[in-house]
Amino acid sequence: MSTATPLHQRRRPPTAAELGAIPWMALLAPAERERAASDLRVADAGPGEFICRVGRPVTYWFGVVDGLLKMSTDNAQGRTMTFTGIPPGGWFGEGTALKRESYRYNIQTLRSSRVAGLHVDAFHWLLDHSIGFNRFVMNQLNERLGQFIAAREIDRLGEPNQRVARSLAALFNPVLYPGVGQVLRITQQELAYLVGLSRQRVNEALSALAAQGAIRVEYGGLRVLDLQALRTGDFR
């Protein structure tokens, strides 16, 4: 796959399987579903490729079909601040799409990923015509608010095991990321990027969480065994 061509020039209509994996499609009436399907596009992005950039005007509402993305911004000193990771099944940027404003964050792939996009005009058409879609977006905004409040709390946590636990819990949010299930396909290095710790320190934290029965490290990913413990546990 060549990333020399801009992402929007690589977009294509989704397959039937890709449409079936989009969580909000099942909430639409037949006419609404037909309109959405005609406007949806899918593209494959390479590692490190930007999906959205700070200051660019919104054109699509995006979702992750496969792969892993990160949401971040750069401060005045040029340091990158990561807000959250976005695993499969996650849709993001509804606030930006609602206001039709420019992006205030960057969205970048951590590995080769497949992303879907619904044009912002179709997004607003669904808001005007679909009760089911409105409820989905409202739930997204509510969960996203809680997610970012939690992210501020995580930033204040000085204990690495707690930071890793709470960050993992955010990635297993069943409302925002229904495609994850109980197993998150993520490497220790990718998790280190999201948490802001070294890979070695993340490895130590994962070993501690596994020893306390909250997760199980499997080949190519992590299985959550006790989500509530990740959210609230006092891991040391």
pLDDT digits (tens, 9 = 90+) for 117-169: 999 999 999 999 999 999 999 999 988 887 777 666 666 666 888 889 988 98
| Orientation angle between helical segments 188-195 and 160-171, nearest 10 degrees | 100
Rounded to an integer, what distance in angstroms lies between the CA atom of residue 43 and that of residue 7?
7
What residues have CB less than 8 Å from 3, skipping those under 6 apart? Answer: 45, 46, 49
215 lies in some domain: yes
pLDDT of residue 175: 87
Residues 84 and 142 occupy one common structural domain: yes
Of 102, 123, 150, which residue is a domain's last? Answer: 150
Residues 14 and 76 occupy one common structural domain: yes
pLDDT of residue 210: 94
Residues 66 and 121 occupy one common structural domain: yes
Residues 57 and 112 occupy one common structural domain: yes
Residues 11 and 75 occupy one common structural domain: yes
Tally of domains within the chain: 2
Residues 17 and 121 occupy one common structural domain: yes
2 lies in some domain: no
* pLDDT interval class at 49 (50, 70, 90): very high
Residues 91 and 24 occupy one common structural domain: yes
Q: Is pLDDT at 42 greater than 80 in this prediction?
A: yes
Q: What is the pTM of this model?
A: 0.85
pLDDT tens across 164-200, in order? 998 898 898 888 998 888 889 999 999 998 888 899 9
1 lies in some domain: no
Phi, psi (rounded to 5 degrees) for 149: -65, -45
Phi, psi (rounded to 5 degrees) for 183: -125, 125
- What does the angle CA 179 – CA 7 – CA 43 come to, to the nearest 5 degrees? 35
Of 100, 131, 150, which residue is a domain's last? Answer: 150
Of 117, 150, 183, which residue is a domain's last? Answer: 150
- For 219, the domain range is 159-232
pLDDT of residue 223: 93
Rounded to an integer, what distance in angstroms lies between the CA atom of residue 206 and that of residue 199?
10
* pLDDT interval class at 213 (50, 70, 90): very high
pLDDT tens across 64-97, in order? 999 999 998 877 666 777 888 899 999 999 999 9
Residues 56 and 136 occupy one common structural domain: yes
